[in-house]
Structure formats: C-alpha cells, structure tokens
Amino acid sequence: MSQAFDQVKAQEESLLCRSYSRYPIAVARGKGSRLWDVDGKEYVDLLAGIAVTGLGHCNDEVTAALVEQAGRLWHVSNLFYQEPQLELARRLLAESHHGKVFFCNSGAEANEAAIKLARRYMRKARKRDAYEIITLSSCFHGRTFGALAATGRESLSDGFTPLPEGFRQVEAGNLAALEAAVGPKTAAVMLEVVQGEGGVRPLPAEYLQGVGRLCRDKDILLICDEVQAGLCRTGKFWAYQNFDLKPDIITCAKSLANGLPMGAMLATDEAAQGFEAGSHATTFGGGALVSAVASRTIEILRRDHLDARAAALGAEFRDKAEALLTRLGGAIAEVRGLGLMIGIELAEDGTEVWRELLRRGIICNLSHGRTLRLLPALTIDAADLDTFLETLEAILSGR
Ligand SMILES: *Cc1c(COP(=O)(O)O)cnc(C)c1O
C-alpha cells in the first residue's frame, strides 16, 4: 500500500468510531463507472456505492439539477409546502399502484415508517389490535431498532438488546411456515423479493405469489422492501413488478437521489389512512434539494428505459457467467440474480479472489465470504461487465 493510503487509513482509525471494516482503497474521485484512488489508480466500479449511484458517479445531468436547485432553495422544513417534493411524489407514484408517499432519509427510516404505518393502520383504520410484523430468514431491513428487530439476525443485534417486540421471523421460501405464523396479532409480512444483503437471493416466483395470496386471504398487509432492488435495478421499475404482486406498502432509498441520502415509503390510499397529521415526521425528509436531485434521477431512469436495459444487460451477463461456470468446471457454484443485481457464488472461500480482483482494478463486494456481489450503475458499459468476467476467469484459472 502507498504512503498516501497509509496516511488516510491511520487518520480513519484515530478519528472515527469503529463500526466499518473498509476495503484497502482511499477513493479520491469518480465518474460514471470509474473510481480513482489517492494514488491515481483507476478502478471499474461494479458496486456503485452498494446500489446507490445508479446513474454512475457525478452524473452530469444529476449534477446540473443539484447545482440549479442549490441556487434556489435547499430546505424549509415540512411546515411548508414546496414544489420539488410534490414533483418527486408525482414521478414515483406514476410508477406504481400506490397513492401516497412519505419521504425520509434512508432505507432503515423508510422501513421504520412502513412498520409504524402498518401498525397504526390496523389499530386506527381497521380497529384491530394487530401489530406483529413477520419477516423472512436471511432478510435485511436496516440498523435502527425497529428495522433491526425486523432483520432478526443475532450477529447484528449483539450487545444492543432489548429490541422492540412484535416481530417474528419464518424461513424464506416456506409458505406453510408463513401460514402457520400468521395469527390475530399479525399486521403485515415484510420481505425483499430479491434478498440483497442475504447474498443476492431471488425468492421463487410461486412462493412470492403464494405470499401475496396469503396476505389477501388473511387480510394483512404486504410490505416490500425495495431499498436495494427497486428503481429499475431488477429489470422493472420496482422489483415486485417482476412477480405480479400488489404490495400495500413499499420502501425505497439507496439509488433514489443517486448518492444523496433519501428514502421514501409508498402506500396505497387505503393503507395510508394509518397516518394523520402528527403521526410521523422527520426534519430532513423530502427536502427541496434532495427532492430535485431525486426527481431528475427518476426522470432519467424513465427517459433512458434503464429498467429494460438492466433486464437485457443482466440476462446477457448471467448467460456468460453460466458459460464460465461450465467452462471452469467447479470453481463457481452458482450464478444468481435478477437484472443488474448479481451474485456469483464461488465453490470455496472467495477472499483471495475478491482481493485479486481489487488488485487488478475491479471493485465488487464479497458477501458471506463466498459470493461475489455486483450492483453496478445501470448505465454501465457492457464491456465493463465483460472485463469482470474475463478477469475472474483469468484469476480462477490461475493466470
Ligand atoms: C441497505 C438496505 C437497507 C438499509 O438502508 P440504510 O439506508 O442503510 O438504512 C434496508 N433494506 C435493504 C433491502 C437494504 O438493502
């Protein structure tokens, strides 16, 4: 490692709370699907801030929207009406069957809003004392207390208990287990149709349709966490649209403002009755600056048909990755994903392969020690994905 890197690393260790394990790269600059480190080394970025910079780093049009709004109005509090927030709401709601939106600042916050809305809808609109949220094994819904309780992974809550009550988890993919868990206290089922942090695991279509039916039959809400999979990444604007589902509530964040912090919860008009003035609030939610940036982001996703592009590029990539799997005979265990949400599970621990990819200038994530996870910008060149596969093949063949 270089002296410049060592200095940054030492500063980080002395200044910041110990809560992240970081990659051995100090990033100085980005453009599109390229990053440059403090020594000027260039990388192909196949992670895009963990599905955040969906339109690439420093996208010119998004930057122009940011600069334009920055000169007009940044923030006025939700005590006031302002148009950028409404424009964004119109654009988001045009893409789904939902009727109302609540803006916040992160994925975890969007999920907190969804949990609160589900509970309060049941109590106030339906007069049912139903509060329990059922989630699935291997899920991830965020790190705030409610979202952490929903996530239900002990390694993440170690030292932080007690967590809020009213959450229950069942095995993903097992419809009978879900049916058995639903009771009079159940308010909602919350799931990711493609589990992201769980290792890029698409849930089977029949299962998802079964969950949708079950929620309707039992008269409970379905919440889809679209924080990672939403906004065109899986080949549809929303990931649930791949599966003929009609979730009552969805949440999104990550790529919503292409790198500025923003989250949103969308609800049907029916479910949205759970909130009234004063029920829920956040200072920064839907601020004028982030809203204008998110609006431009959504406009570009639509205008450039990036949903269809993600579907086509993702399918092409998975075909090539499957061919590689066959060619290499054993080094790759499985290729998973939907659109540009991609997991390549290696047969053995992938730490060295991942590290060698970094050395050769390719950034991806290693999930659960064995799965190379790719969440590239939706604008990425097909050639960059080919470079990844060629480099991976070279590494796995010992070249
Ligand atoms: C990242 C993520 C979250 C949490 O989002 P934050 O912005 O980190 O709070 C929640 N759900 C899913 C599916 C995610 O991928």
pLDDT tens digits along 171-222: 999 999 999 999 999 999 999 999 999 999 999 999 999 999 999 999 999 9
Q: Which of 250, 278, 303 is the last residue of a domain?
A: 303
pLDDT tens digits along 253-283: 999 999 999 999 999 999 999 999 999 999 9
Residue 240 sits in which domain range?
73-303
67 occurs within a structural domain: no
Verify that 155 and 272 share a domain, yes or no: yes
Domain count, the chain: 2
Span 98-123, average pLDDT: 98
Mutational test site, ligand 1, from 197, 226, 233, 265, max ligand atoms within 8 Å of CB: 197
Verify that 250 and 261 share a domain, yes or no: yes
pLDDT tens digits along 125-135: 999 999 999 99
65 occurs within a structural domain: no
Verify that 99 and 242 share a domain, yes or no: yes
Verify that 216 and 121 share a domain, yes or no: yes
64 occurs within a structural domain: no
Ligand 1 pocket, residue 335 CB under 6 Å = no
Atom of ligand 1 nearest to the CA of 108: 9
66 occurs within a structural domain: no
Span 384-388, average pLDDT: 98
DSSP states along 54-74: TT-BT-HHHHHHHHHHHTT--
Ligand 1 pocket, residue 107 CB under 6 Å = yes
State yes or no: pLDDT of 1 exceeds 80.
no
332 occurs within a structural domain: yes
Provide the pLDDT for residue 347: 98
178 occurs within a structural domain: yes
Q: Which of 303, 326, 358 is the last residue of a domain?
A: 303
What is d(CA 245, CA 52) in angstroms, rounded to the nearest whole number? 25
Verify that 236 and 127 share a domain, yes or no: yes
Å from CA of 103 to ligand 1 middle:
15
Å from CA of 161 to ligand 1 middle:
20
pLDDT tens digits along 311-359: 999 999 999 999 999 999 899 999 999 999 999 999 999 999 999 999 9
Q: How large a percentage of the chain has pLDDT more than 70?
A: 100
Verify that 105 and 88 share a domain, yes or no: yes
Provide the pLDDT for residue 126: 98
Q: Residue 370 sits in a domain of what CATH number?
A: 3.90.1150.10
Mutational test site, ligand 1, from 139, 151, 228, max ligand atoms within 8 Å of CB: 228
Å from CA of 263 to ligand 1 middle:
10
What is d(CA 102, CA 337) in angstroms, rounded to the nearest whole number? 29
Å from CA of 108 to ligand 1 middle:
6
Verify that 215 and 355 share a domain, yes or no: no
What is d(CA 40, CA 28) in angstroms, rounded to the nearest whole number? 8
Verify that 254 and 295 share a domain, yes or no: yes
Q: Which of 303, 334, 367 is the last residue of a domain?
A: 303
Span 50-78, average pLDDT: 98
Å from CA of 337 to ligand 1 middle:
18
Choose among 363, 328, 375, 364: nearest CA to 347.
328
Provide the pLDDT for residue 128: 98
Verify that 42 and 163 share a domain, yes or no: no
Ligand 1 pocket, residue 253 CB under 6 Å = yes
Provide the pLDDT for residue 329: 86
Provide the pLDDT for residue 131: 98
